[in-house]
Structure 1
Amino acid sequence: MEPHRLDEDVLTAPALFVYYNQPVTLDMWPGLLFGDGGEYQEGSAGGSAVGPMPTSPAETLATAERRLRAAGWQVYEPTSTVLQTCAAPPCEPQQIQTVLVARRGDTVFRATFNDPRTYNSYLNVEAQRAAPPLVLPTAVPAGLVGGVLAWLVFAWASRRTEGRRGMRPLLGLTLFLWWVPALLTTPSLVGHHLDEPHPSWHPLWEWLGQPACSLLFLIGAGCAILLAIALVPRRDLRPLTVSVG
Structure 2
Amino acid sequence: MSALSRQYTILLWFYPPDYRRAELLDTLLDAAPPGRRRPTVREAANLARHGLRARLGSPGSRGVVFWAAATVFVFGLFGSGLAVRAAWETARPLPDQAQTRAVLDEILPGEAWDVPTRATSAKFGVFGAPMTWDGYAQWPTSFEGGEYGRTAVGATIPGNLHLAQADTAERVTVGLRAHGWTIRAIRGGTGEPTTILARRNGLDLSVAIYGYTASGMPSVSLGIVRSTPALAWPAGIVGGLVSGLLAYLAFGWGSRRTEFDHPFSGLAGVLYFIGLLFWLLPTAFALPLVTFAVVRDGDPDWPQTWEWFGQPKYFMCVLPGAVLLALAVGFAAPRPASAPSCVGSPDPGTG
TM-score above 0.5: yes
Contact 1:79 1:196 (8 Å CA) reproduced: no
Answer with 1 or 2: which has the greater Rg.
Answer: 2
When residues 60 and 149 of structure 1 are mapped into structure 2, their CA distance, relative to the original with a 3 A threshold, is same
Which of 95, 106, 113 is residue 209 of structure 2 equivalent to? 113
For residue 276 of structure 2, give the secondary structure of its aligned residue in structure 1: helix
How many angstroms does 1:29 deviate by?
A: 3.0
Per-residue deviation, 1:53: 5.0
Residues 228, 140 of structure 1: alpha-carbon distance in 2 compared, 3 angstrom cutoff: same
- Which gives a bigger RCO, structure 1 or 2 (Cα 8 Å, sep 6+)? 2
CA contact (8 A) 2:195 2:207 kept: yes
1:123 Cα deviation (Å)? 2.2
Q: State whether residues 72 and 104 of structure 1, in contact with CA within 8 Å, keep that contact through their aligned partners in structure 2.
A: yes
Distance 1:12 1:53 in 2: 28
Structure 2 CA distance for partners of 1:112 and 1:75, relative to 1, 3 Å: same
Q: 1:188 aligns with which of 264, 289, 300?
A: 289
Question: Of 26, 33, 49, which residue of structure 1 is paired with 2:157?
Answer: 49
Aligned to 2:126: 19
Question: Compared with structure 1, are the counterparts of its residues 20 and 197 closer, same or farther at alpha carbon in structure 2 (3 Å cutoff)?
Answer: closer
Measured after TM superposition, the shift of residue 67 of structure 1 is: 1.6
Tell me whether 1:214 sits opposite 2:315 in the alignment: yes
> Cα RMSD between the aligned structures?
3.0
| 2:218 corresponds to 1:124 | no
| Partner AA of 2:195 in structure 1 | V
Using the size of structure 2 for normalisation, the TM-score is: 0.55
Report what 1:40 is aligned to.
148
Distance 1:104 1:191, change over 3 A: farther
Task: For 2:205, give the aligned amino acid.
Answer: F
- Structure having the larger proportion of residues in helix: 2
Superposition deviation, residue 177 in structure 1: 1.2
**How far apart are residue 127 of structure 1 and its match?**
0.8
Of residues 123-132 and 218-227 in structure 1, the stretch that sits farther from structure 2 once superposed is 123-132
Matched residue count:
221
Aligned to 2:82: none
Q: Secondary structure at the match of 2:279?
A: helix
Identity %: 27
- Are the structure 2 counterparts of residues 196 and 49 from structure 1 closer, same or farther at C-alpha, using a change threshold of 3 Å? farther
Alpha-carbon displacement from aligned partner over 1:119-157 (angstroms, at most 9, x marks no partner): 832322111111221221232232122223323433444
Change (3 A) 1:24 1:227: same
- Asked whether the equivalents of residues 257 and 335 of structure 2 are also in contact (C-alpha less than 8 Å), the reply is no
* 1:48 alignment partner, SS class: strand
CA distance in 2, matches of 1:196, 1:210: 21
Q: Determine whether 1:179 maps to 2:280.
A: yes
| Alignment partner, residue 237 of structure 2 | 140
Secondary structure, counterpart of 1:197 in structure 2: coil
Query: Please, what TM-score do these two structures have when normalized by structure 1?
Result: 0.76
| Alignment counterpart, residue 10 of structure 1, candidates 102, 105, 116 | 116
